[in-house]
């Protein structure tokens, strides 16, 4: 999909490691949620409200914080650096149902997902998502 977007809009390639971590988290939030929504839509033919409830369990800051804690040993140096930059960022908002520590952990997770998405490393995104969901009992 990103290949088509890049071509249609004539987007240049970038060094995504140089991007602000909150920008990576911004796109990572959506990229990760798209994976989760895709999984649940393909698994269940149920009402959107029930889908939303299932998806929300996986995309909450608390869930993402637990996932990244389990995934840290799996990350390579580059991925760890991206995660840490996201975690150490200074977000302008905070989660409604999470502590600030959980929110920062989740921001690091989302920055990593954003980086992997922009680098078109979809297999790695999927691998980490599946391992993370298994680690918290949601897969």
Is residue 128 within 8 Å of 74, Cβ to Cβ? yes
Between CA 110 and CA 68 the distance in angstroms is: 10
Tokens of 19: 């991007």
Is residue 28 within 8 Å of 113, Cβ to Cβ? yes
Q: Residue for token digits 């980490």?
A: 128
Identified catalytic residue from 15, 29, 45, 76: 29
Classify 96 as helix, strand or coil.
Answer: coil
Does the annotation count 76 as an active-site position?
no
Residues noted as catalytic: 29
């Amino acid at each position: 999909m990103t290949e088509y977007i890049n071509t249609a809009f004539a987007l240049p390639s970038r060094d995504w490691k140089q991007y602000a971590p909150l920008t990576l988290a911004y796109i990572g939030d959506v990229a990760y949620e798209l994976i989760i929504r895709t999984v649940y839509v393909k698994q269940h033919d149920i009402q959107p409200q029930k889908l939303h409830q299932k998806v929300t369990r996986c995309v909450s800051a608390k869930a993402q914080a637990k996932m990244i804690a389990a995934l840290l040993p799996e990350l390579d140096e580059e991925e760890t650096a991206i995660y840490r930059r996201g975690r150490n960022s200074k977000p302008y908002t905070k989660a409604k149902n999470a502590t600030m520590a959980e929110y920062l952990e989740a921001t690091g997770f989302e920055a990593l997902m954003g980086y992997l998405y922009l680098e078109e490393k979809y297999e790695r995104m999927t691998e980490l998502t599946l391992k993370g969901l298994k680690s918290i009992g949601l897969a």
